[in-house]
């Protein structure tokens, strides 16, 4: 039996302490704490890493603070299109959904895709049809229609501009959420969920639901969840790249994460960050922006929370 560990993120970007009120900072730290506590309760009771990451991500999907689930941003049509994925490191089984508009917790539907179908990814109306067959909770548009997200959309509505989440300059913040964990059996897992880009068109899908780009887990190496400029994470196959550097070049988890985030991603022109974990429960939280909502809890240690660099 090893030491359990859970790591989470709530998005990376230009997060400046000077631009964040004490009340807003406290609200984010509270939401991160609740996510860690929910997932860690699974691990301490002998539950699986897969269940822990699902529960941790669901907690953030239920919060209006993050661009996932309830807090998802608006598309160019004034709707919501959410993406999510989950992966089990023990057998490398994975599930994902993209372009769902009324599923309360896309990460939970992703797990059902993994466990109840022969597929990895379901999209749009088909994914929602499957969700209804599985009796997952659905919500009306009002549930996802946070007023501040609506005002954010109005600043770019009717233009070709897209925005990544909710800063004054919204291009500087990425609100994807994610979790990685290792359980008492040494199995690892990863999950990621997002509402995508404000004012996105044409059913755009980012890296979050794409296995190997935004999410990856393999017991032999690591589990990874990414946040950032999705097109670059897709082109760089970022989540898998971390695993490959460990497997084929013998890099440590931290060295692999730093190589990918601080060199390979930047060489492509991308920015953002990731969280990762190995079977020994060693956490890594690396980003090339000014900040990333993040935290982890290891068995026998105090909880660690941070926002700024």
Residue of 162, 176, 192, 194 marked active site: 176
Would you give the distance in Å from CA 308 to the centre of its chain? 18
**Helix, strand, coil percentages for the chain (3-state, nearest 5):** 35, 25, 40
Quick check: is 176 catalytic? yes
Of the candidates 81, 267, 52, 274, which has an alpha carbon nearest to the alpha carbon of residue 181?
52
Under a CB-based contact definition with an 8 Å cutoff, are residues 186 and 2 in contact? yes
Q: How far apart, in Å, are the Cα atoms of 288 and each of 112, 132, 224, 306, 309? A: 33, 40, 16, 15, 9
Of the candidates 285, 19, 289, 263, which has an alpha carbon nearest to the alpha carbon of residue 172?
289
Under a CB-based contact definition with an 8 Å cutoff, are residues 63 and 71 in contact? yes
Residue 27 CB contacts under 8 Å (≥ 6 apart), including other chains:
65
Question: Scanning the structure block, which residue is given the tokens 């990451």?
Answer: 53
Query: What span, in angstroms and rounded, lies between the C-alpha atoms of 245 and 108?
Result: 30
Question: Scanning the structure block, which residue is given the tokens 């233009």?
Answer: 159
- Tell me the catalytic residues: 176
């Amino acid at each position: 039996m090893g030491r359990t560990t859970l790591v989470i993120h709530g998005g990376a970007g230009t997060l400046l302490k000077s631009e964040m009120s004490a009340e807003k900072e406290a609200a984010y730290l509270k939401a991160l704490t609740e996510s860690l506590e929910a997932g860690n309760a699974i691990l301490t009771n002998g539950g699986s890493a897969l269940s822990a990451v699902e529960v941790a991500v669901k907690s953030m999907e239920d919060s209006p603070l993050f661009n996932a689930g309830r807090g998802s941003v608006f598309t160019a049509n004034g709707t919501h299109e959410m993406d999510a994925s989950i992966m089990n490191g023990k057998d490398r089984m994975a599930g994902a959904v993209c372009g769902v508009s009324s599923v309360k917790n896309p990460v939970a539907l992703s797990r059902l895709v993994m466990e109840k179908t022969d597929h990895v990814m379901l999209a749009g109306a088909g994914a929602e049809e499957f969700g209804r067959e599985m009796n997952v909770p659905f919500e009306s548009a009002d549930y996802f229609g946070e007023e501040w997200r609506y005002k954010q959309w109005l600043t770019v509505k009717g233009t070709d501009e897209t925005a990544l989440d909710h800063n004054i300059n919204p291009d500087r913040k990425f609100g994807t959420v994610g979790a990685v964990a290792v359980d008492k059996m040494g199995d690892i897992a990863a999950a990621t969920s997002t509402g995508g880009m404000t004012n996105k068109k044409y059913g755009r899908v980012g890296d979050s639901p794409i296995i190997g780009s935004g999410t990856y887990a393999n017991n032999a190496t690591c589990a990874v969840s990414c946040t950032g400029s999705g097109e670059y994470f897709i082109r760089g196959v970022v989540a898998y790249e971390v695993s490959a550097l460990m497997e084929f070049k013998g890099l440590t988890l931290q060295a692999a994460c730093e190589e990918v985030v601080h060199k390979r991603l930047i060489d492509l022109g991308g920015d953002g960050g990731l969280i990762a974990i190995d079977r020994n429960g060693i956490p890594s939280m690396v980003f090339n922006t000014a900040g990333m909502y993040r935290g982890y809890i290891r068995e026998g240690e105090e909880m660690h929370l941070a926002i700024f660099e």
